[in-house]
Amino acid sequence: MLSALLMRTPIPTSSSVIHLSLMNNSRFYSGITVLKKAFDIATSQTQVEQPLCLECLRILSDKLDKEVEDVNMDIKAYETCLQRSELESYDVLNNADFPKDKEKIEEEERRLQAAVQDTERQFAEVKSQKKELESKSKLFRELEEGYWHEYNNFQFQLASHQVNSNVILLFNNMPCTSLVELQFGCHTL
């Protein structure tokens, strides 16, 4: 089948090749032109009128009315702002007053910097005092803990001595009571 097709196909000459390439170029450009028109129609960038149905026309009309309304509101806001800015008075410094005001501002800046430095110095002092008080507080807690430890030891020793004292007194009183009993026991006999 391929051989039959080749036999029927004429062999191109140089003039027919040029005509064929021009024909292909014109087809190529006509294809691009068709695609461009289709793109223009698809993106609504065409100069050709496209008919709209009544419903689409109503929706488009509503959208355009809303946009016009928004633009009118923006215009009114702009005009109001413009009128307000025209009514405001601007206090513009002249060349003679500028150095005086600059000097005042620089003096205020120096005063504020001095105040900041003084505040930082006071902060450093307070921070140092805080550390000192924290160390004293820690020492006080340690001393208090030691005091209560010693106090509890003392109370324990005191209770222990009182028990020992009571035992000693008991042992001392036993012979006396025995002696008293003997004395009373002797008289009754």
Q: Give the pLDDT confidence of 121-173 residue by residue, as tens digits.
A: 999 999 999 999 999 999 999 999 999 999 999 999 999 999 888 888 777 76
Which phi-psi region, left, alpha or beta, contains residue 44 (left: φ > 0; alpha: ψ -120 to 50)?
Answer: left
Residue 4 pLDDT: 38
Note the Cα 112 to chain centre separation in Å: 30
Q: Give, in degrees to the nearest 5, the angle at Cα 164 between 160 and 166.
A: 115
pTM of the complete model:
0.33
How far CA 54 is from CA of 24, 44, 47, 57, 66, in Å, comes to: 44, 19, 21, 5, 18
Rounded Cα–Cα distance for residues 5 and 178 (Å): 156
Least confident of 11-20, 72-81, 127-136: 11-20
37 or 2: which carries more pLDDT confidence?
37
- The structure tokens listed for 65 are 């009315």
Indicate if the pLDDT at residue 9 is higher than 50.
no
Rounded Cα–Cα distance for residues 26 and 28 (Å): 5
Indicate if the pLDDT at residue 7 is higher than 90.
no
Least confident of 54-63, 104-113, 144-153: 54-63
Least confident of 82-91, 115-124, 174-183: 174-183
Which DSSP symbol is given to 73? H
Task: Quickly list H helices, the chain.
Answer: 2-8, 14-42, 54-87, 97-188
Residue 129 pLDDT: 96
What is the arithmetic mean of pLDDT over 81-94?
76
Note the Cα 7 to chain centre separation in Å: 82
Rounded Cα–Cα distance for residues 177 and 182 (Å): 8
Rounded Cα–Cα distance for residues 44 and 32 (Å): 18
Residue 100 pLDDT: 86
Q: pLDDT per residue over 170-183, tens digit each?
A: 777 676 666 666 67
Diameter over CA atoms, the chain: 177
Residue 149 pLDDT: 95
